[in-house]
A and B are shown apart, each in its own frame.
Chain A
Amino acid sequence: MEQKTLLRKKSNPYIPKLATITEITRENDINDLKTFKLVFNEKEHFKNFDYMPGQFAELSFFGAGECPIGIASSPTEEGYLLFTVKRVGTVSTLLHESKVGTTIGIRGPFGNGWPIEQLIGYSIVIIGGGFAFSTLRSLTKYILANRKLFKAIVVIYGARNPSELCYKQDLAEWEKSPEIHLTTTVDAGDKNWTKKVGFVPAVTKEVAPTSKDAYAIVCGPPVMIKFTIPVLTELGFANDKILLSLENRMKCGIGKCGHCSIGEKYVCTDGPVFTQEQLRFMPKEY
């Protein structure tokens, strides 16, 4: 009776698709941040994995479990997915210890993602801190690939020190690009650092992006968000023009397990992107 059948492409949202790590990029000096390039074992899974910037996926390390990770690649980068993972828990530690060629599982894409359609025709101010920049990288890449649809693009990206800034290659490109106004800042520089030193909220104030026809998109550690929001308000951003991405403990990713609930919302299906306006009416359980 308990016949075992090999999985077909039946759409069971709990079953991951197999993928292989094809490249691992070390992102920082202390080596607790790595970007993994993943390729589905069956090419057709890319077709079914139709995602937008800001969405996340559940990465499986078989035998240890899953963890939700924001997708760092942009849908415009085809043939692979990027995930930047910080070594924190069991699964992320095992991912960090894996080598190129390791098989892992991917479920997704999950979550609402950044509301691209809503952003069309607006200026975009992207403010990120630390490794939370991952889905912002995806967004920036995506916007640059569809540059004509948007007005000014301002990116403010801060980290504790120069080594903690992720995606250095992309940053170097953006720095040269006339399409985008990038400001990088660090809390503490080193002897090679010639750019800004200062916290993100202060730098945002200094850069003072216009709030006219603009959306601010903020992703970073809670303390950065706490102090950046008032700056944005001061610059004239209305609460419904400030977008944030939440993180909560998550298991299923599909709104069933209950872990990530905040009030009647589930971060995994109703979020992770919320406007500051929405958050004002939600319990502070994140």
Chain B
Amino acid sequence: MKEKFLQKEQFPKFINELMNRYPVYAPIKKNGFHVFEKISSPKIIDLEYSNTKIPPKELFFPRAETLFSYAKSKEGIDLIQDSHPDETRVILGIRPCDVLSFLLLDKFFNSGKFQDPYYQKRRENSLIIGLLCADPQSTCFCTSTGGSPFSEAGMDISLTDLEDKYLVKSLNIKGDQLLEQIPWLGTASERDIFDATRRAKKALASIKTEIPIEKLSDKLEKLFNNDAFWSPFSQKCINCGSCSFLCPTCHCFDVVDEKTSTGGKRIRLWDTCQFTLFTQHGSGHNPRPTGKERIRQRIMHKFCYYPKTLNEIGCVGCGRCIRVCSVNQDIRSIFKAVQEVEGG
């Protein structure tokens, strides 16, 4: 019952049915790359893509988000919270690695003494239709970070591209309920499921990068004060924020106030540990004064601190940072160097 198929020529019909019920977010091609956007028509969806430039974390943790506004009045100050739309939305076509990044962000934003209401609300209101990854890129290493090109974790429904059709698999009750609303979907045959399994195996085999992650955290901890280890990497880095801004698991933010003549608002914005200002005290003292400390922080945070506090690697192996780096700083070289230091 849960495994259906969707002929590709019926894809627009499928999307239209979704759009009749929910706002739909899907990858579209813009300026030479893909981004997730709320779509106005099924035609603009482009699923022939490896992955989006901006990770879909943006849908839950936007680049800029108003935390609250305030208005000045004679009596003083009135705080106003912009209520987030309560309606459920569908996010379609997300890759497994990016969905795993949501699970990681869930652990971070929803755990601890305080929870993040903005992130939480958006997560609750989203239905995730994932697109399994038949053709991973050479920079992908999701299998090393606990994922896989056919991982369905975190999805409500998964889509597998079978050339002329999609295998549509519901993975939980939310998925079931959604598919019940589209009764005309055909039930998948044994053959469809067999094809999907074949593709999964092929995809898995095509990922060549293997990072021995066990003990990575301990090894990095020992390397913390080893300047000779970090300097070749910090030497190359120009400390721009592109790797962390475009990382699906980076979640640091800055908070700024914006003033208008009648009031203002408090906004949070993506921030990155690569910037000087990130840690600089009001006195001018900077605990991470140079690029070396900052690049070390990024690596340590993902591969040492994350495992220690949340018992997970803070990386989903999407390879975006490798592709986006203008000086070709390759995170895989850092892993390799960690191994070599220990081996030698």
The answer to whether A and B assemble together is yes
**Residues in A lying within 8 Å of B, measured CB to CB:** 1-7, 12-16, 18, 20, 41, 60, 62-67, 88-89, 92, 103, 105, 222, 247-249, 251-252, 254-259, 261-264, 269, 283-286
In the bound complex, what is the Cα–Cα distance between A62 and B258 (angstroms)?
Answer: 9
B229 CB–A CB distance under 8 Å = no
Q: Which residue of B lies closest to A254 (CB)?
A: B114
A258 touches B283 (CB 8 A): no
In the complex, the answer to whether A15 meets B79 with C-beta atoms within 8 Å is yes
CA gap between A286 and B281 in the complex, in Å: 9
> Which 7 A-B residue pairs are closest in the complex by CB-CB distance?
A258-B252, A63-B259, A254-B114, A264-B305, A88-B282, A285-B287, A89-B282
Contact A4–B82 (Cβ < 8 Å): yes
- B83 adjacent to chain A (CB < 8 Å): yes
The 8 Å CB contact of A259, one of B72, B259, B278, is: B278
Q: Is the Cβ of A18 less than 8 Å from the Cβ of B81?
A: no
Q: Quote the shortest CB–CB distance from B78 to chain A (angstroms).
A: 7
Q: Is the CB of B271 within 8 A of A103?
A: no
Query: Besides the contacts A62-B77, A256-B251, what 5 more A-B pairs have beta carbons closer than 8 Å?
Result: A14-B266, A60-B257, A88-B283, A261-B297, A269-B114
Q: Are A3 and B257 in contact (CB under 8 A)?
A: no
Report whether A251 and B309 are in contact in the complex, using a CB–CB cutoff of 8 Å: no
Main secondary structure of the interface of A (DSSP, over half): loop
Whether B82 contacts A257 by the Cβ 8 Å rule is no
Contacts of A251 in B (CB 8 A): 253-255
Contact between B79 and A18, CB atoms less than 8 A apart: yes
Once A15-B68, A251-B254 are accepted as A-B contacts, the answer to whether A7 and B79 lie under 8 Å apart by CB is yes
CB distance from A70 to the nearest CB of B (A): 14
- Cβ-based interface call for B320 (8 A): no
Cβ-defined contact, B68 with A255, below 8 A: no
Taking the closest CB of chain A, its distance from the CB of B271, in whole angstroms, is: 7
Chain B residues with CB below 8 A from A258, complex form? 251-253, 271, 273
> How far is A261 from B301 in the complex, measured between Cα atoms in Å?
9
**How far, in angstroms, from A264 to B68 measured CA to CA in the complex?**
29
Of the candidates B80, B117, B281, B309, the one whose C-beta lies within 8 Å of that of A6 is B80
- Measured between beta carbons, the chain B residues less than 8 angstroms from A1 are 85
- Whole-angstrom CA separation of A283 from B308 in the bound complex: 15
A277 to chain B, nearest CB (A): 18
Is the Cβ of A65 less than 8 Å from the Cβ of B281? no
Instruction: Pick the most buried of A252, A254, A286: most chain B CB atoms within 10 A of its CB.
Output: A252
Chain A residues within an 8 Å CB radius of B293: 285
> Which B residue sits closest to A11, measured CB to CB?
B117
Asked whether B83 lies within 8 Å of A4 as measured between CB atoms, the reply is: yes
Kindly state the separation between the CA atoms of A92 and B108 in the bound complex, as whole angstroms: 31
20 cross-chain CB contacts under 8 A:
A4-B80, A7-B81, A14-B68, A14-B266, A15-B79, A20-B76, A62-B257, A62-B264, A63-B257, A63-B259, A64-B259, A105-B77, A222-B285, A249-B282, A255-B112, A259-B252, A263-B300, A264-B304, A269-B114, A286-B287
Distance from B64 Cβ to chain A, minimum over Cβ atoms (Å): 14
Which residues of chain B have C-beta atoms less than 8 A from A103's C-beta? 76-77
A255 adjacent to B81 (CB under 8 Å) = no
Shortest CB distance A139–B (Å):
22
In the bound assembly, the distance between CA atoms of A4 and B70 in angstroms comes to: 11
In whole angstroms, what is the CA distance A92 to B76 when docked?
A: 20
Chain A CB within 8 A of B109 CB = yes
* Residue in B closest to A66 when the chains form the complex, CB atoms: B255
Report which of A2, A20, A249 forms a contact with B278, defined as CB distance below 8 A: A249
B38 to chain A, nearest CB (A): 12
What string of 1s and 0s marks CB contacts (under 8 Å) between B259-293 and chain A?
10001101010010100001111110101100001
